[in-house]
Structure 1
Amino acid sequence: MEPKRELSSVDLAALATELSRYEGAKLDKAYIYDEDLLRLKLRDFDRGRIELLIEVGEYKQAHVADPKRVPDAPGRPPEFAMMLRGRIESADLVSVEQYEFDRILVFEFERPDQNTTLVVELFGDGNVAVLDENGEVVRSMETVRLKSRTVAPGSQYEFPQSRLNPLEVDYDTLEARMEQSDTDVVRTIATQLNLGGFWGEELCQRAGIEKAMAIDDAGEAEYRAIHRELESLSEALKSGQFDPRIYVEPDSDEATEEESDQPLTAREKVVDVSPVALEERADLPSRAFDSFNPALEEYFYRLKEQQRREEEGAGRERPDFEAEIEKEKRIIEQQEQAIEGFEEEAEHLRRKAELCYERYDLIDEMLSTIQEAREAGTSWADIQETLEAGAEQGVPAAEAVVDIDGAEGTVTVDVDNERITLHALTGVEKNADRLYREAKRVEGKKEGAHEAIEDTRERLEAVKQRREAWEEEPEPEPEPEEGEHEEIDWLARENIPVRQPEHWYEEFRWFRTSDGYLVIGGRNADQNEDLVKKYLDKHDRFFHTQAHGGPVTILKASAPSEPSSPVDWPDSSLEEAAQFAVAYSSVWKDGRGAGDAYMVEPDQVSKTPESGEYLEKGGFAIRGDREYFRDMACRVAVGITCEDETRVIGGPPSAIVPKAETTITLEPGKFAQNDAAVKCYREFKSRFADESFVRKIASADKIQEFLPPGGSDLQGV
């Protein structure tokens, strides 16, 4: 049995109930780990320190954690974490809610100077969005631009389309939704009641209904039983009267339910966690907990330990079959939801067509009035004024008109609380026929979606078969240690170990030239000051762009702790340092393709201005002759290294491309720095088989550190 890696909507309903007990706590710090783990450290008057962990990557979950199991604070906080701290440090947590019945948690924080909303999306690729008081996105981990919704900085946050909440459904609505189906009971519950496959089966078990029963054979008795179980589940989730359980695969065939109150052992493999006891898991041993949060913490801690042991103990790289399986399951769920949407849309269109005939006289009068006016040469604006006047006089046909669009030749009417857009210059019959045809076209989409589901189910079965075949293969003999170094295809490797030591120069902009020399540059005026005062040694070289507004750039002859000695600088290193100085300057911001830079020796750089002049912070006086580098190209490359160290690197393409496993070259362009970083991140994820490796070492924030300020375009992507 595959273990659960994502919390369900039922889980989140219970979690929101428990997390609401921490309302009133004050936020101390926010941390980000590996682009997908958010840690919120809070203080509560009664409970003391509270550690809330939220994951939106491979695992999608949230829980309050024991401080002993919280990861150490990361070294340098990414930009997202710094922004979050600036908005919610010392803020009060005033509410925690689940959005409708979706896999979304909404945290509200209040502070005297500003209020902030944190929206955690635990579905799809996962996301965390930070909103201001007006619901506008300040920043999000992932930028989402879909036809149905947008989540991007500066835009109004859009929740996914509302769907039925089964925990609040009344009996009449439940009965109506069930009778719209043409499949079996369990699939009807899963789709029509928005509960998903597992809880569809669980509800059938609790209600004592055969899940494979055709919906045509079900009636009021079955519907009442389902509704009773839903009401019981809803009451438990809202009141917090839980029976939290972790379910495990039995150690042996002799494992019995008598063991259910025993603590977990290291041998047991966890497979599920739930806020309530599950009928569908009744054949598995379970471990009980006093509340849901500790159960969640223990479950995901054990689950990750299981995965770590499997990865360390494997003699060969195991493909991530589970991720593929979960992906195909998500696709099936989305396709089933799409079918439900097509059915609702088609039914809605048919209802509009029927209303055209039910209110034939009213609609015909309104359309005839418009058609006669147009034939007489009356403008659309005048027609609208006439109808507005008629509405004020109580003329029913005029009162029904909501809007007229002269450019499209349409009129929108409100008939029996239903808004219908009609072609103003055609009759009632033709409008109704058009709506019927549109309903038929939408229903046609449903057939295609059913075929797509079957294709997805075949892919899902194929993945499961590949997993079984892989597990049955014998372990390969280990390769001999001696001999030539084997070339590794890092892009195709399923599991890449992370090796990322920290270096003193990482707070600055940096790269190593193609000859191996370190180049460092300032990110701001303060760093420009520090570089000259603390890190510019007598055998180094100082570079700066000829244009105003650029980083202090130093080509280092040695590390700060090493003795400095003269260097016979290769031309390639000098040119790369000059190109670096140009690329990260205002030349890039201005969208120019090239610029000039100059080089001087350290003793030519001074903080003392000429008489009568003034030096701004981060500025320096240069005395003596300068060596110029003309028309240096505004190009940078960002890449990922896998040998020796695993990290993002960036700088002049001639220095970066040979060292990285894969690279992307950028030039001045239209995409903002953050958007360009996200595009690079997604492109890198698509190139590596081990997507989790990219998330860990090459997040969008880490890539952004190597991008020049200003707009960029990605070459060849």
Structure 2
Amino acid sequence: MKAMSNVDLYAISHELDELLKEARVQKAYQPTRDTVIIRFHVPGKGRVDVAFQAGLRVHTTQYPPENPKVPPSFPMLLRKHLKNATVKGVRQHNFDRILEIDIQKEHRFTLVVELFSQGNIILLDEDNRIILPLKHRHAQGRKITSKEEYQYPEERGIHILNVELEDLKDLFANSDSDLIRTLARSGLGGMYSEEIFLRSGVDKKLPANEVSESDVESIYQSMTELFKPLKTFKFQPQIVREVIEGEENEDETSNEVKEPHQHETTESTKNEATKTTKDESTESTSDEARKTTPDEAKETTPDEARKTTTDEITEITKNKSETKKPKKGKEDVLPLDILTYQDFKKERFETFNQAADEFYSGKVGADIKKVQEDIWAKEVGKYEKRLRIQEDTLKKFQKTIIETKKKGNLLYAHYSEVQNLLDIIHQARENFSWMEIASKLKKARKEGMKEAQIIESMDKMGVLLLNLEGERITVDANLEIPENAEKYYNKGKKAKRKIKGVNIAIERTKKDVERKRNKRELALERVQVPQKRVRKELKWFEKLRWFLSSDGLLVIGGRDAGTNELVVKRYLDNNDIYLHSDIHGAPSVVIKKGEGEGDIPESTIQEAGTLAASFSSAWNKGYGSQDVYWVHPDQVSKTPQSGEFVARGAFIIR
């Protein structure tokens, strides 16, 4: 999936700054490993969701994804620090692929979104120290981890909107590559670099340090013309898609180069930045745009002959499109018009955020499902691991039963040999220590003593390790043979008793595994591609407190001082009834009566009075009852007597 370029982010940041300024942060979610959704409340607009995907995209979204039931730690930390905080500004850092959102609560916070390389989302405190990053990183001299001071990557390349002609001359003069690669690596990207050479007619393969001054001027003029909509904030948001006509040319390749980060210096980045393909159509266009006849050359200067107007380029590329077709399936989203996509079908949008939302949101379904699969694999894996451990334990117990019985039996089968050995040891014990006896037995074994041949070792406590028929058996020289054998038999009996409990646990765990697997299958079946959120068009009274009475009449009430004013000034008509609780801090309530209808029933008045009392301050004060009065519209006034003052949302009853 295409990552946003610095040009894309410029348009996004400008629109978000206008949209989110003074908005309040409500909640944060993390539907996928790299994606965070933050919900804002924008005054006058209501809910606005913004999708931040590290290394890929930032835009408002109308496609809310399915969120995990248990939120990860990163969005929980964002909620802790940013809930109800106010957005003070959104900006792009130095025309790079870094977005910053300034947020004010008790203290100032900055949310940094990095779209270069693998990307990151980082929350900073007012001292520019990292509170928590989405991804902990330590590369290229930057340490992105908690409590460290945030450092911007090293700045490289040019600022497209602020570049001067002399800057461009210096860029080319100091380059050891061709023109197209020099521009692409400077932060312009492959697509926009190709577009500039298409417009200027300059040969993109020329060595940058050999380019003429007139060529540089032509490139500069084309660059200025291309990015003029960005400087004036007159974006042209669009999604472009191929138009398939006839057969596709097999040799046709994309002329797009992956957008490089201005300061990435790794070999992989350099390689990506140099993947400028030999687009035959573009090169032919550039060559034709530079050709003039001998007669024309006499009438124009060399510099003038080298330049081709945008209209002429359009005509040339249009003719070429009769034989060259766009790459099948290609689509893109961008904030301005470019000639490269002139033959593509264009879908226009009011804002670039809307265009980006339509472009990216349809592609994230697979990503969301993968995250859910990983979550469930981990959940099911816990029970599967428990089952494996229990089954291994069962096998160990079964093996213990067999081995201990065999060892006990072997002691009785070799009773006389073992007893003779123990008798020798007991006699020696009267004069020697255990270690001395062990040394003498070792020597006797080497000398061929029959009784010592079954000994492998003996420790300082008198415990022997014997080898009987290939089985290694431990025998305590302080105990008799039956006592040693009984120790083995008891160990086997103990293991046998435990097997019953292990079998019960295994059956229980098997059921848990099966239940979790079934839940996983059901959950994954329910994972859907995010659907567009349809904003409900509210009727005028739905912005207020309202209900239909049992008699079918509409009853409305204010929610605050502002809507109290609205209820009376805009919606109170001559045939209506006005109600208010006899207490400070209560809604203005109106029963709407249609033309030609009879008197308002008493039951409706009672129900409206209940609304007026229930939403008054009497409820919070714990009163058991509250008086409510009603009057006719002509008794409700906003005009005070001399020396009086009527606050906002308050009225005078005459």
TM-score by length of 2: 0.45
Greater RCO structure (CA 8 Å; 6+ sep): 2
Between Structure 1 and Structure 2, the one with more helix by share is 2
Q: Which has the larger radius of gyration?
A: 2
TM-score by length of 1: 0.41
